């Protein structure tokens, strides 16, 4: 802004990172009346731009991940209200859709593994119904002939993460938050163990007694040692487009190696590869080939769709696959990150948790279980 001192300014809360997590938390804080400044380095490594947008606590449930499951179920239940409020505040559609998901086995081994998953769902009390091959095909006539049975999770949903990002930016600004471009270089403290603000790479500063770090795969570079041991896990997606009336499926279709996510506007996202390759965001021929081959096995009609794009992103991943949400380092410093495959799903839960902490409210057990201290205590280095 003309005449504004860009080298030093102040806020009640600085949020580093404008992905789905940073923006959701910034909005929650701005709604509660805090003066919020969001600082973001740009879309280059923003996982939220690449995500498929599944809100799928059942499909993501796994053995020994109870803390994550609790957060996922809580957040999935919050999503309809989260989307509705965003739409009310901005007049912009978010496109949340409770479409359900059908997980199919494409050979005997895959089907046996799905059976085990389905049994786990029963133990955990999750909504999941086993279907024969015929029943699967009745539900989704576009399924390939390899489909040998599977389970349907009727409550799973999807949303376009890029649309949500755009609407969140509008909502944040309407609620009074400022969103600035810039690279946060470090968190400053006042010498007595309290946060004093942030320093940007261009040398400017923003004073604030509270700072939230939500910088995705770069969280470990700014947070206190051991509190955010996050590594990037690469994932590639392919984007397709169906003409009206030619949608290949109604629900999310998932097999062992691929998922197909149909959106109401005709976009179909095929994802996703999983690779430990450091900070590599190149889309590879092999990755695209694998996705299209496996998607074709599950839903052959995808071959008829228009190919509109592909992308690679980095999932911010902790050693136990669950996020870190809470206080970390000097008084006033919060972190929210490491959401791995579930950042879209967990955005409403994370925003509510950070909102409660900013109001100094006690946090529920589901949030306490995700405290960054769990890694510091176990001696894992970032």
Ligand X SMILES: Cc1cc2nc3c(=O)[nH]c(=O)nc-3n(C[C@H](O)[C@H](O)[C@H](O)COP(=O)(O)OP(=O)(O)OC[C@H]3O[C@@H](n4cnc5c(N)ncnc54)[C@H](O)[C@@H]3O)c2cc1C
Binding site for ligand X (CB under 6 A): 16-22, 39-42, 45-48, 50-54, 183-184, 214-216, 218, 235, 237, 271-272, 313, 315-316, 337, 339-345
User: Which residue number, 92 or 199, has a Cβ lying nearer to ligand X?
Assistant: 199
3-state secondary structure of 60: helix
Where does residue 6 fall: left (phi above 0), alpha (psi -120 to 50 degrees), or beta otherwise?
Answer: alpha
Peptide bond into 272 cis (omega under 30): yes
User: Which residue number, 106 or 345, has a Cβ lying nearer to ligand X?
Assistant: 345
Dihedral over Cα of 374, 353, 39, 90: its sign: positive
What is the nearest approach in angstroms of ligand X to the Cβ of residue 176?
20
What is the nearest approach in angstroms of ligand X to the Cβ of residue 108?
27
User: Which residue number, 149 or 318, has a Cβ lying nearer to ligand X?
Assistant: 318
What is the nearest approach in angstroms of ligand X to the Cβ of residue 306?
20
CA 136/CA 138 separation, integer angstroms: 5
CB 165 within 8 A of CB 23: yes
User: Which residue number, 152 or 322, has a Cβ lying nearer to ligand X?
Assistant: 322
Find tokens 């599977």 and name the residue. 150
User: Which residue number, 149 or 198, has a Cβ lying nearer to ligand X?
Assistant: 198
User: Which residue number, 237 or 288, has a Cβ lying nearer to ligand X?
Assistant: 237
**Any idea what DSSP says for residue 84?**
H
CA angle 295, 300, 303 (to 5 degrees): 85
What is the number of other CB atoms lying within 10 angstroms of the CB of residue 288?
18
Q: Which residues contact 254 (CB under 8 A, 6 or more apart)?
A: 59, 101, 102, 103, 104, 260, 298
CA 31/CA 289 separation, integer angstroms: 45
What is the nearest approach in angstroms of ligand X to the Cβ of residue 305?
19
CB 242 within 8 A of CB 323: no
What is the nearest approach in angstroms of ligand X to the Cβ of residue 63?
20
What is the nearest approach in angstroms of ligand X to the Cβ of residue 51?
3
What is the nearest approach in angstroms of ligand X to the Cβ of residue 185?
7
CB 89 within 8 A of CB 256: no
3-state secondary structure of 251: coil
What is the nearest approach in angstroms of ligand X to the Cβ of residue 288?
12
What is the nearest approach in angstroms of ligand X to the Cβ of residue 145?
27
CA 372/CA 382 separation, integer angstroms: 11
What is the nearest approach in angstroms of ligand X to the Cβ of residue 321?
11
User: Which residue number, 48 or 128, has a Cβ lying nearer to ligand X?
Assistant: 48
3-state secondary structure of 271: strand
User: Which residue number, 121 or 218, has a Cβ lying nearer to ligand X?
Assistant: 218
User: Which residue number, 149 or 313, has a Cβ lying nearer to ligand X?
Assistant: 313
Using DSSP bridges, classify how beta strands 36-40 and 13-16 pair: parallel, antiparallel or unpaired. parallel
Please give the backbone phi and psi of residue 130, each rounded to the nearest 5 degrees, phi first. Answer: -80, 135
What is the number of other CB atoms lying within 10 angstroms of the CB of residue 140?
22
Encoded tokens for 331 = 């008084």
CB 23 within 8 A of CB 339: no
User: Which residue number, 299 or 324, has a Cβ lying nearer to ligand X?
Assistant: 324
């Amino acid at each position: 802004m003309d005449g504004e001192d860009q080298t030093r300014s102040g806020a009640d809360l600085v949020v580093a990172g404008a992905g789905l997590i940073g923006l959701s938390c910034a909005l929650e804080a701005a709604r509660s009346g805090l003066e919020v400044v969001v600082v973001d380095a740009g879309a280059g490594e923003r996982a939220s731009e690449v995500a498929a947008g599944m809100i799928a606590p059942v499909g993501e449930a796994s053995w020994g991940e109870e803390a994550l499951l609790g957060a996922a179920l809580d957040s999935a239940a919050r999503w309809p209200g989260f989307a509705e409020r965003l739409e009310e505040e901005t007049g912009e559609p978010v496109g949340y859709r409770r479409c359900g998901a059908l997980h199919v086995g494409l050979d005997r081994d895959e089907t046996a593994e799905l059976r085990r998953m389905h049994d786990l769902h029963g133990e955990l009390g999750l909504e999941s119904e086993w279907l024969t091959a015929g029943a699967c095909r009745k539900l989704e006539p576009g399924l390939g002939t390899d489909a040998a049975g599977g389970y349907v999770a009727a409550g799973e949903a999807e949303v376009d993460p890029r649309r949500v990002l755009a609407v969140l930016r509008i909502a944040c600004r309407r609620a009074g938050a400022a969103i600035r471009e810039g690279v946060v270089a470090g968190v400053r403290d006042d010498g007595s163990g309290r946060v004093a603000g942030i320093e940007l790479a261009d040398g400017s500063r923003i004073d604030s007694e509270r700072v939230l770090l939500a910088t995705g795969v770069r969280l470990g570079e700014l947070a206190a040692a051991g509190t955010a041991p996050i590594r990037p896990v690469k994932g590639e997606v392919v984007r397709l487009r169906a003409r009206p009336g030619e949608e290949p499926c109604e629900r999310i279709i998932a097999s062992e190696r691929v998922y197909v996510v149909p959106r109401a506007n005709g976009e179909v996202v095929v994802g996703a590869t999983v690779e430990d390759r450091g900070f590599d965001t190149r889309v590879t021929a092999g990755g695209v080939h694998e996705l299209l081959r496996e998607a074709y096995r599950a839903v052959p009609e995808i071959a008829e769709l228009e190919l509109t794009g592909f992308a690679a992103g980095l999932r911010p991943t902790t050693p136990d696959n669950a996020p870190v949400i809470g206080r970390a380092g000097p008084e006033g410093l919060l972190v929210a990150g490491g959401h791995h495959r579930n950042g879209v799903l967990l955005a409403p839960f994370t925003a509510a948790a950070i909102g409660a902490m900013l109001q100094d409210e006690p946090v529920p057990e589901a949030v306490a279980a995700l405290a960054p201290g769990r890694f510091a205590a176990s001696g894992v280095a970032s």
